[in-house]
Chain A
Amino acid sequence: MSNFFEKSDISRSEAENIVSNTLKKCDDGELYLENSKSETILLDDNKIKNSNYNSDLGFGFRAVSDEVVAYSHSNEISKNSLKQSSENLKSTLKSANGTYNYSIPKSNVKYYESINPLEEKTLNSKIDILNKVNDYLRKKDNCVKQVTSNFSGEQKSIEIIRSGGESLTDVRPLIRFNVSVMLEKNGRKETGVYGVGGRQSYDSYLKDDNWKNVCDEAFRIASVNLESKPAPAGEMKVVLGPGWPAILIHEAIGHGLEGDFNRKKTSAFHNLMGQKVASEGVTIVDDGTLDNRRGSLTIDDEGTPTEKTVLIENGILKNFMQDRLNARLMKTRSTGSGRRENYRHIVLPRMRNTMMLSGKQTQEEMIKSVDKGIFAVSFGGGQVDITSGKFVFNCTEAYEIINGKIGSPIKGATLIGDGPSILKEVSMVGNDMMLDPGIGTCGKAGQGVPVGVAQPSILINKMTVGGTSL
């Protein structure tokens, strides 16, 4: 655990006094301190191209009065800097006349250990694995023309000091291991990418030569794409594979169920609470409590313990995801979904691990039932316009389905759909729910946070496939 005041000219009790004094007439707020250490080691084009170490230290001071947020952050944890921030907050909230809400739920449960993944493995052993990855892939097939692989790891220590001196702390490890391979055959070039990660040591993911599985998967995706033909264009049935394709849920539904957009009534879902928004059998949860998962948090960035929040139960909209501010204004409780990228940013309600739970059907049944459609197995990024509800995502591995059988692979196409109506088009939910491999980062208002997704195979009756083949 970091002691943020050890090397500062300000003592903890002086800082606590500034916090209490600044937030006196506010409804909420806190001093958020953060110390993070991170590294990236990158192999590219046969060479170790980058070994970077980053250490980041800073604080963000927030005061909330009614709907107004005043925020100030700096890298210097000093008397001067904290006082200046305090003055900034006070001058914005001159007319604040609220009552500070001291209550914050407590929990002793932790969802990951306070390890420092950066120190568990030497630089040389990381370089060694990257070189092995490079050799392994280049020897695998002579159409391998480019290999990129990297380790990135982080340990983030945070402390939240609330008015009255209450302190909440967390130490968060996070790692990711990634492989990207480019193949070239008959003048065509295609890429395959795969990665693994979560809130454990590198070795938890890479032991027993598991890095080979990551390489094989990246290679397999690239090989499939080398044989791909132009994707069809137009509305058709879509079968989504289990696991990572759940970013469809994340984009189509998840963002629209975040508290802020609904308080502001800019989400297409804001007036649908308690109503049927999905087919029967569709249940979606957002869960921060899965052990060691990328999107899991012991406490959120306001200090609230995370939970498993039921968003949609058997088709009915049950809850939004809330931070303290939006919960207070919408007269409900925080779901432990208040997150920020780092101390430079204000807290927003965000997703953690968003999952559609298993149903009863098999993937086989779904494919069999489709005359003409596509089977999408993996995706790149996605994006949503939460106001119109339209969302897209890009296929990185997909196949055509003809007369109930999987056919040729098709080129990366964008799928586009409508968030509020897409889940009503789900006609089968598989029995094969799978978590993603731990690679997701979600962007909102310029802030990226690690997230997870999960789903079983699902059949969607109608989606627009953005191919070139009419």
Chain B
Amino acid sequence: MVKDREYLENKALYCLDLAKKLGATDISINVGNSVSETVNFRNKKLDESNRSDNLGIDITTFIGKKKSSISSSNLLKENLTILIEKCIETTKNTPEDEFNSLPDKDLLASEVRDLNLYDDDHIENDKKVEYLSRLEAAASKDKKIVNTESSFVEDKSNFILANSDGFCKGYKTSSFVASSVTVAKDDKSMERDYEYSRKCHLKDINNAEDLGKKAADLTLRKLSPKKIGSQKIAIIFDKRIAKGMLSTFASAISSSAISRGTSFLKAKINEKIFSETISIIDKPDIFKGLGSKSFDSEGVKSETLNLVEQGILKHYLIDTYNGKKLNLKSNGRCGGTTNLYFNNGETSFKDLLNSNSKCLYITETIGRGSNIVSGDYSVGATGFLVENGEFKHPINEITIAGNLKDMFQNLALANDLEFEYSTNSPTMMIEGMVVAGK
């Protein structure tokens, strides 16, 4: 069982007291525990079971404007004492930084929102095995499927965040993930694809048969891909790839990249960086939301932010340190976004496919090809050639490239948004990108 609030709070308060006694002027502590149980299947047989019990503590001590931190998985009092002594000693020897501080007290969360993020249901490993058997039976129906690997993960976590300004809050969360990776083979090629379902609550997990069949279908349609010639062509990004564009956007508007001057979106507040049809929202209080939070990793209350309105950038993602540097207040985004999404566009998926006589539909990209300093973008890709709205044949071994500044301006969205992940996008189209192939 995951450690209860009392255990975590006792550890946090012990460290808080000790650090104060040893001379810390401000202290922030996070104590967490997560217990997860995983069952993996391969080719319709049990492959691995894994139980994981993770304890951890992070302590940051300040002496005036000096700051240092320690972390440990060994929560025995004796060890914590040694570590805190070490942390205080290091703090004393670390140079001052005028922007170091705990968050402003008036920004701290005053309550934990009831967002239904914890499900006490427990699924026994035998039941996981039963689910995975059904999943893999459905996934391997077609003879061309030559390998299946599936897993079911159950995870329960609890944490307490405490600081020397009296903040002491935490809550439990749970997550259940069922996933399947299938490999298909024909005489010309071998291809792999996947599908997964991740939910806060056990009963919301997708049906095993549907999930297995989806993974297999996605894989089978990739068989016998062709390479195409280099050209300028409209690119349609499948939802699971399109959300990556949002993550790139989020890293480019993080206050750390902005204050360091290492983002192509520096000083673009109130400027039009997308077309006027585009709005981007970060909403922390979605019921059962995979990115939902009551407060950020410093304890600052997170409210909904309309990051982009009608194409215009309205907010950065701000934490305390970089906020002070930029002379802005933290907006509760230390540690990043919460539930981040594009609002729906006005076009249907079908109309988007038909908007050009020829386009590429991309289902997977590989490589870390986004440079947020220069905005240059270049990744390896696989997908399909689409002609007059019809999927013609799979393609691979190509790259797609452009610059994020232009790509954002040219970005158009379908109206098929769903909340499957913590970051979500409708199907996306970007015109004017360059494909390198044959």
Contact of A388 among B78, B149, B190, B376 (CB under 8 A): B190
Q: Which residues of B contact A14 (CB under 8 A)?
A: none
Interface contact B436-A234, CB-CB below 8 Å: yes
Interface contact B434-A467, CB-CB below 8 Å: yes
Interface contact A48-B437, CB-CB below 8 Å: no
Which residues of B (376-413) have their CB < 8 Å from a CB of A?
A: 376, 378-380, 382, 396-403
A47's nearest neighbour on chain B, judged by CB, is B97
**How far, in angstroms, from A434 to B93 measured CA to CA in the complex?**
39
Q: Type the 1/0 row for A60-88, where 1 means its CB is closer than 8 Å to any CB of B.
A: 00000001111111111000010001001
Interface contact A466-B400, CB-CB below 8 Å: yes
B62 to chain A, nearest CB (A): 12
Interface contact A123-B49, CB-CB below 8 Å: no
**How far, in angstroms, from A75 to B76 measured CA to CA in the complex?**
10
Does chain A have a CB within 8 A of B261?
Answer: yes
A85 to chain B, nearest CB (A): 7
Q: Which residues of A contact B398 (CB under 8 A)?
A: 416, 464, 466
Does chain A have a CB within 8 A of B368?
Answer: yes
Does chain B have a CB within 8 A of A188?
Answer: yes
Interface contact B71-A92, CB-CB below 8 Å: no
Kindly specify which of A108-116, A311-319, A357-365, A377-385 makes contact with the partner chain. A377-385
Q: Type the 1/0 row for A453-470, where 1 means its CB is closer than 8 Å to any CB of B.
A: 000000000001111111
Does chain A have a CB within 8 A of B105?
Answer: no
- Given known pairs A45-B260, A182-B262, A416-B399, the reply for A233 and B55 (CB within 8 Å) is no
Does chain A have a CB within 8 A of B114?
Answer: no
Q: Which residues of A contact B396 (CB under 8 A)?
A: 388, 390
**How far, in angstroms, from A55 to B80 measured CA to CA in the complex?**
10
**How far, in angstroms, from A278 to B192 measured CA to CA in the complex?**
24
**How far, in angstroms, from A416 to B435 measured CA to CA in the complex?**
12
B46's nearest neighbour on chain A, judged by CB, is A68
**How far, in angstroms, from A415 to B401 measured CA to CA in the complex?**
11
Q: Type the 1/0 row for A423-460, where 1 means its CB is closer than 8 Å to any CB of B.
A: 00000000000000000000000000000000000000
- Given known pairs A70-B49, A88-B51, A344-B54, the reply for A387 and B68 (CB within 8 Å) is no
Q: Which residues of B contact A7 (CB under 8 A)?
A: 76, 78
Q: Which residues of A contact B368 (CB under 8 A)?
A: 380-381, 383, 394
Q: Which residues of A contact B70 (CB under 8 A)?
A: 52-55
Interface contact A414-B399, CB-CB below 8 Å: yes
Interface contact B83-A53, CB-CB below 8 Å: yes
Kindly specify which of A162-170, A204-212, A264-272 makes contact with the partner chain. A264-272
Does chain B have a CB within 8 A of A411?
Answer: yes
A413's nearest neighbour on chain B, judged by CB, is B378
Does chain A have a CB within 8 A of B45?
Answer: yes
Does chain B have a CB within 8 A of A44?
Answer: yes
B311 to chain A, nearest CB (A): 23
**How far, in angstroms, from A50 to B367 measured CA to CA in the complex?**
29
Contact of B55 among A49, A76, A382, A464 (CB under 8 A): A76
Which residues of A (115-143) have their CB < 8 Å from a CB of B?
A: 123-124, 127
Interface contact A416-B51, CB-CB below 8 Å: no
Interface contact A48-B94, CB-CB below 8 Å: yes
Q: Which residues of B contact A388 (CB under 8 A)?
A: 189-192, 225, 382, 396
Number of A-B contacts (CB under 8 A): 242
Interface contact A466-B68, CB-CB below 8 Å: no
Interface contact B436-A73, CB-CB below 8 Å: no
Interface contact A191-B262, CB-CB below 8 Å: yes
Q: Which residues of B contact A127 (CB under 8 A)?
A: 93-95
**How far, in angstroms, from A57 to B53 measured CA to CA in the complex?**
12
Count, chain A residues at interface, CB 8 A: 79
- Given known pairs A75-B75, A85-B51, the reply for A182 and B261 (CB within 8 Å) is yes
Interface contact A466-B232, CB-CB below 8 Å: no
Q: Which residues of B contact A328 (CB under 8 A)?
A: none
Q: Which residues of A contact B56 (CB under 8 A)?
A: 75
Contact of B72 among A54, A72, A145 (CB under 8 A): A54
Q: Which residues of B contact A387 (CB under 8 A)?
A: 183, 190-192
Interface contact B373-A189, CB-CB below 8 Å: yes
Interface contact A146-B46, CB-CB below 8 Å: no
Q: Which residues of B contact A45 (CB under 8 A)?
A: 259-260
Q: Type the 1/0 row for B365-378, where 1 means its CB is closer than 8 Å to any CB of A.
A: 01111010110101
Q: Which residues of B contact A268 (CB under 8 A)?
A: 190
Interface contact A392-B94, CB-CB below 8 Å: no
Interface contact B94-A385, CB-CB below 8 Å: no
**How far, in angstroms, from A67 to B46 measured CA to CA in the complex?**
9
A321 to chain B, nearest CB (A): 20
Query: Which of B50, B83, B401, B436 counts the most A-chain CB atoms under 10 A from its CB?
Result: B436
Does chain B have a CB within 8 A of A412?
Answer: yes
Interface contact B50-A235, CB-CB below 8 Å: no
Interface contact B378-A414, CB-CB below 8 Å: yes
- Given known pairs A53-B83, A468-B401, the reply for A385 and B192 (CB within 8 Å) is yes
Interface contact A468-B366, CB-CB below 8 Å: no
A343's nearest neighbour on chain B, judged by CB, is B73
Does chain A have a CB within 8 A of B22?
Answer: no
Interface contact A189-B262, CB-CB below 8 Å: yes
- Given known pairs A7-B78, A234-B230, A381-B367, the reply for A394 and B48 (CB within 8 Å) is no
Q: Which residues of B contact A246 (CB under 8 A)?
A: none
Contact of B260 among A146, A188, A390, A470 (CB under 8 A): A146
Which residues of B (56-83) have their CB < 8 Å from a CB of A?
A: 56, 67-76, 78-79, 83
Q: Which residues of B contact A399 (CB under 8 A)?
A: none
Does chain A have a CB within 8 A of B310?
Answer: no
Contact of B54 among A57, A75, A390, A393 (CB under 8 A): A75
**How far, in angstroms, from A415 to B399 measured CA to CA in the complex?**
8
A58's nearest neighbour on chain B, judged by CB, is B73
CB pairs A–B below 8 angstroms (9 shown):
A56-B72, A146-B260, A189-B264, A381-B368, A385-B366, A388-B382, A415-B399, A416-B398, A466-B401
Question: Given known contacts A127-B94, A416-B436, A417-B397, what 7 new A-B pairs fall within 8 Å (CB)?
Answer: A49-B97, A127-B93, A234-B437, A344-B52, A390-B380, A416-B397, A465-B436
Interface residues of B (CB under 8 A from A): 42, 45-56, 67-76, 78-79, 83, 86-87, 90, 93-95, 97, 125, 146-147, 149, 183, 189-192, 225, 230-232, 259-262, 264, 364, 366-369, 371, 373-374, 376, 378-380, 382, 396-403, 434-438
Closest 9 CB pairs of A and B: A466-B399, A392-B380, A233-B436, A392-B367, A387-B192, A92-B49, A414-B378, A234-B230, A72-B51
